[in-house]
């Protein structure tokens, strides 16, 4: 996954976890042992956090940030929530 942090994660019913790769600008689905099975590119933005939901639980809500680290520190916010359809539904609450 290269240089990335994972501040936001969520679980799916098939045992996978979705993590946000802040520095990589991608959201990753991983299985037990760290195998990456899916990647969602944030389109040149920072990948901040993610959550599965929607009517069928198969919508990945992706919080993205379009800006530099300096702009974050200055309080300039260019954030958005974007969505993508995925194959595995959200797991129930732990």
pLDDT by residue (tens digit) across 11-24? Answer: 999 999 999 998 89
Residue 22: partners with Cβ closer than 8 Å, 6 or more residues away:
4, 5, 6, 7, 46, 47, 48
In a domain, 3, yes or no: no
In a domain, 61, yes or no: yes
Q: Which domain holds residue 63?
A: 9-85
In a domain, 90, yes or no: no
In a domain, 92, yes or no: no
Residue 74: partners with Cβ closer than 8 Å, 6 or more residues away:
none
In a domain, 93, yes or no: no
Total domain count, the chain: 1
In a domain, 91, yes or no: no
pTM for the model: 0.85
- In order of 33, 77, 89, the CA distances from 37 in angstroms are 11, 31, 15
pLDDT by residue (tens digit) across 33-85? Answer: 989 999 999 999 989 999 999 999 999 999 998 987 788 788 877 889 999 99
């Amino acid at each position: 996954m290269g240089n990335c942090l994972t501040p936001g994660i969520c679980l799916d019913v098939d045992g996978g976890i979705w993590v946000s790769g802040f520095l990589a600008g991608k959201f990753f689905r991983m299985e037990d042992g760290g195998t990456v099975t899916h990647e969602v590119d944030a389109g040149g933005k920072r990948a901040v956090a993610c959550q599965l939901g929607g009517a069928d639980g198969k919508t990945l809500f992706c919080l993205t940030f379009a800006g530099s680290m300096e702009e974050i520190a200055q309080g300039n916010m260019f954030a958005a929530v974007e969505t993508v359809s995925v194959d595995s539904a959200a797991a129930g609450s732990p």
